[in-house]
Structure 1
Amino acid sequence: MSSSVPSYLEQLVRHPETDKRLWLDPDQRVVGKFLRCQLASVFQPVIDLNEQTSIAREAFVRSWHQTESRLSPWSLFASAAHDEDVVELDRLCRTVHLLNHFSGLHANEPLIVNVHDRLLAAVAGDHGRSFRRVLDALAISPSRVIIETPESVCLDRSLLAFVVANYRLNGFRISVSVGRASDVQKVLGIVRPDYLKVDGRRIPSTAEAAHVLALAEANGVRTIIQRVETHDQLNTLREAGITLVQGFALAAPSAVPAQQTPLATTAA
């Protein structure tokens, strides 16, 4: 665990008015507030099939409205009418994920965080600079964080290249999410991310999976097949030589138990 994360969490308990957007729930997990909504984190592992271990965990937001039992993340982002609201919401989600992951039982693993496509379009300057400042304040190396770009960014060659270069400049590792296997060669002609993530539901055959893997390996990029939901999909990927897999066939997203001892609820 980063030495600064426990101190920050302790500050939330002892001085709850310091940042009204963040607090700890009874299970010692960080919860965020945006407008009248609350945000929490769940994490899904990326599994190495050869080693049967997790190599990283991807964070997803779970949200609910104070008048509703559940609010989908898509509805939450849609409620942010202005670009500046999207920027604030996206950064808040990533901060909640950071604090939950790096205070949890799997803090030794890299964290994968997504960025919303509207944020990438709205921020004209240095992508990753603000997030890097959060990491620096928490004494977390940016190399322990993998920024994942959305599928839609692959449609804009110049934006994809610009965004990847900016995040790299700020020390982050990069994962590019590709919607279709047919887009892999085009993406690799623009950037060389650390990871290439392809939707497993759109890879119908062993031959196509093997082709994706060969293209990525030829460019020094590791392949992760995501949204693997059935054992038939899993068998197809194994036959193709795919080793890094993510999806419900292996593990559902879940909250990670905090590893710190329970923090006092009142100041000593």
Structure 2
Amino acid sequence: MNALLTRFLHTVHADYFMEFPLWSTADGQVVGEFIKVRLSSQFEPACDGAGQSLGMLARLQAVAPGGEIMADEALTRLTRVSETPVVLDRFIRSLHLLNYLQAGYGGQGLILPVSALLLEAVSQEHGRVFRQIVDRLAGPAPRIGFLLPATYAAQPARLAALRANYARHGFATFLPTGQGAAVLQRLDDGC
């Protein structure tokens, strides 16, 4: 087990994600599990419409027990308990953070998708819990931003409130541009 995962298990996991098993693979990647679905991270470079680098965009890979890849929506449908979608979303972002730090992407920022379920379930202070998780890892914190669902582009008041919430906790916010999966629009000056 790598030192980063050990630190996470001792400082964060028991308080937030006890019901989600985590382990390290032979190649050092951290993987998790939710209802027998194996969860892992993939990263791709993200840029703005002008081609300027924004950081590494995290993507979830969910593999069912039979080996088939599950879409995010299918995984979300497995969450029946009211708090589970919120906790699962935070767990996935924490998994991505661990893998990003383990991969050593250096000064590149980390961009984490956030689900509409979490955004609707949490009424205020978006980013507060994730900031606590990042701070508890006690390492130098990378630049982190959140990719909001595209549907929020049509809700300017809601979008402004989310951007302000995340910025208050030191996080940038982004929206998809529709120009490609990793071409994003930064909503603020970044953190």
Common fold by TM > 0.5: yes
Q: Distance in 1 between matches of 2:162 and 2:114?
A: 11
Give the C-alpha shift of residue 160 in structure 1: 1.5
1:70 counterpart residue number: 69
Give the residue type in structure 2 aligned to 1:199: G
Q: Distance in 2 between matches of 1:105 and 1:8?
A: 12
Where structure 2 has 5 or more consecutive residues not aligned to the other structure, the ranges are 185-191
Kept in 2, the 8 Å contact 1:113–1:148? The answer is yes
1:7 counterpart residue number: 3
Q: Distance in 1 between matches of 2:105 and 2:41?
A: 13
Give the residue type in structure 1 aligned to 2:178: D
Normalised to the residue count of structure 1, the TM-score between the two structures is 0.58
Give the C-alpha shift of residue 30 in structure 1: 0.5
2:162 counterpart residue number: 163
Q: Alignment length, in residue pairs?
A: 177
Kept in 2, the 8 Å contact 1:63–1:72? The answer is yes
Q: Distance in 1 between matches of 2:52 and 2:3?
A: 30
2:31 counterpart residue number: 31
Q: Distance in 1 between matches of 2:8 and 2:23?
A: 6
Kept in 2, the 8 Å contact 1:32–1:96? The answer is yes
**Residue from 175, 181, 186 that aligns with 1:227:** 181
1:42 counterpart residue number: 42
Where structure 1 has 5 or more consecutive residues not aligned to the other structure, the ranges are 1-5, 178-197, 201-225, 229-244, 247-268
- How much is the aligned-residue C-alpha RMSD, in angstroms? 3.0
Seen in structure 2, the aligned counterparts of structure 1 residues 124 and 86 have a Cα distance that, compared at 3 Å, is same
Give the residue type in structure 2 aligned to 1:80: T
Kept in 2, the 8 Å contact 1:127–1:166? The answer is yes
Identity %: 29
Give the C-alpha shift of residue 173 in structure 1: 1.3
Q: Distance in 2 between matches of 1:135 and 1:90?
A: 15
Give the C-alpha shift of residue 155 in structure 1: 3.0
Q: Please give the secondary structure, in 2, of the residue aligned with 1:102.
A: helix
Indicate yes or no: 2:153 matched with 1:199: no
